[in-house]
Amino acid sequence: MGNPPWIHAPWMDHSYRVVIKEKDQAIRDTATIAGADIVGLYTDASVAKRLAAIAVVQRIGIVTQVVRRDSIGWASTCGVLIAEIAAIAAALKYAQEHLEQVQQLVVFSDSQQALRAIQAGNDARTGRALLSKIAESIETLCRAGIDLRFRWSPGHEGVVGNEEADDAAREASSHTGKPTAPALERVREMAGVIRLINRDRSEDPNPFDTTRLPGQYTWKLDQALPGKHTLQLYGSLTSDQASILIQARTGHCRLNQYLSRAGLVDDAKCGCRDDDETIKHILLVCPRWTAKREELRATAGDRSGDLPYLLGGWGSKKDIRTGQLLDGPKEKWKPDLAVVKATIRFLEKTGRLTYQQEVYSQYRGWITLTLTLSKGNESHL
């Protein structure tokens, strides 16, 4: 998730709207909305093993109702603080759509860090894209005449509203399958994406061992990663094409071999039953896709069985007659974009990598950041 240069206009100040008191006083204050002409929205987030989730609970008097409960991203690319900020953003969006006639609105969060991020305004360092949305929502609600405040509500203290939000968020983060939030509302931290890519670059002596954790073969698949060729490789693709390619290069996808390790399916076997369903199996040998593989083989020619070459990676294979590297020196090598695009078209035809196209749609931002950080040493991050 990119960071905008400004969260709100420099002359705006919403810090006074945030109230963080000592725990005992904060607990007592949460009771003041009961019976009063105030609507409270309690927010919470949960990041479990796989999913990050949020929940929003509306409280009017003593009546509470869960009005939003969604998994908003993958735990690997959405941390707890970002999820807490996202929950507050979701609460304000709900208020804009459903609470037009409210005069007083209090948004409660049990995350002091998230509330202090709102207080910090343009000085905030984390979650700036979400904080920008929050600032826009604040302006919209205030123009509608709503008196808006943010308060800290201590967690796990029996506070009505907070407990319901906590339960709802935990339930949403425990679901199987992909995130339930609409694609445009899903959250991916750039730092989390970079962590995944760095993990994928870890050296593995057996790059195509299907018993390994997903993504650990990428360093061997493309020993030139990252570098200028990375920007060339992804810069020529659409976001959907880039999504398919990054899944193929990391192995972090919804093929049966990966899903079986995650405990989501019982059998890692491909539908052809010849072998486990892996990227290598689908690209090179699976009989289900023989007809669809014709264009790819025609484009790649003699190297149609060279997995790194098909996926835009620099490999160490040598010509058996001359002993020369097939890809030439790493410093002068460039990926064959025509072959890479043919590989992507083939994978699109199989339909096996279309489930997570949203996961890496912001990969181009990481590429630009990589080139900035690696100036003068394009082979290493």
* Domain of residue 60, CATH code: 3.30.420.10
Flag whether 136 is in a domain: yes
- Distance, in Å, from the CA atom of 14 to the CA atom of 199, rounded to the nearest integer, reads 39
The more confidently predicted of residues 333 and 94 is 94
Query: Is the domain of 324 the same as that of 200?
Result: yes
pLDDT in tens, 142-159: 999 999 999 999 999 999
Flag whether 252 is in a domain: yes
Query: Is the domain of 141 the same as that of 196?
Result: no
Q: Which of 361, 362, 335, 336 is nearest to 244 (CA)?
A: 361
The number of folded domains in the chain is 2
Q: Which of 81, 90, 63 is nearest to 164 (CA)?
A: 63
Flag whether 26 is in a domain: yes
Flag whether 5 is in a domain: no
- Distance, in Å, from the CA atom of 371 to the CA atom of 251, rounded to the nearest integer, reads 23
Flag whether 267 is in a domain: yes
- Distance, in Å, from the CA atom of 264 to the CA atom of 250, rounded to the nearest integer, reads 19
pLDDT for res 62: 83
pLDDT for res 215: 42
* Residue at which a domain ends, from 185, 200, 218: 185
Query: Is the domain of 197 the same as that of 247?
Result: yes
pTM: 0.56
Number of Cβ atoms within 10 Å of the Cβ of 189: 22
Query: Is the domain of 243 the same as that of 256?
Result: yes
Confidence check: pLDDT of 112 > 50: yes
Highest mean pLDDT among 197-201, 301-305, 313-317 belongs to: 301-305
Query: Is the domain of 203 the same as that of 99?
Result: no
- Distance, in Å, from the CA atom of 83 to the CA atom of 354, rounded to the nearest integer, reads 25
Query: Is the domain of 20 the same as that of 67?
Result: yes
pLDDT for res 185: 84
For residue 123, the enclosing domain spans 15-185
pLDDT for res 39: 93
* Residue at which a domain ends, from 136, 159, 185: 185
Task: Give buried/exposed letters for 310-330 (b at 16+ CB in 10 A, else e).
Answer: bbbbbbeeeeeeeeeebbeee
When pLDDT is cut at 50, 70 and 90, the band that residue 356 belongs to is very low
The chain-wide mean pLDDT, for the chain, equals: 80
Flag whether 7 is in a domain: no
Say if residues 164 and 64 touch (Cβ distance below 8 Å): yes
For residue 271 the two structure tokens come to 């539908």
Confidence check: pLDDT of 194 > 70: no
Query: Is the domain of 58 the same as that of 83?
Result: yes
Query: Is the domain of 355 the same as that of 305?
Result: yes
Highest mean pLDDT among 191-200, 204-213, 315-324 belongs to: 315-324
Flag whether 379 is in a domain: no
Number of Cβ atoms within 10 Å of the Cβ of 339: 20
pLDDT for res 107: 96
pLDDT in tens, 218-241: 445 555 455 556 666 777 777 778
Query: Is the domain of 108 the same as that of 224?
Result: no
The more confidently predicted of residues 365 and 151 is 151
Flag whether 1 is in a domain: no
pLDDT for res 110: 95
pLDDT in tens, 237-295: 777 788 888 888 877 777 888 788 777 777 888 888 888 888 888 888 899 988 898 99
* Residue at which a domain ends, from 185, 210, 242: 185
Query: Is the domain of 218 the same as that of 366?
Result: yes
Determine the Cα angle at 364 with ends 362 and 368, to 5°. Answer: 130
Determine the Cα angle at 207 with ends 204 and 213, to 5°. Answer: 75
Mean local confidence (pLDDT), 200-212? 45
Mean local confidence (pLDDT), 51-62? 93
pLDDT for res 352: 85
Query: Is the domain of 74 the same as that of 158?
Result: yes
Query: Is the domain of 174 the same as that of 205?
Result: no
pLDDT for res 204: 44
Beta bridge partners of 68: 56
Cis peptide, bond prior to residue 226, ω within 30 of zero = yes
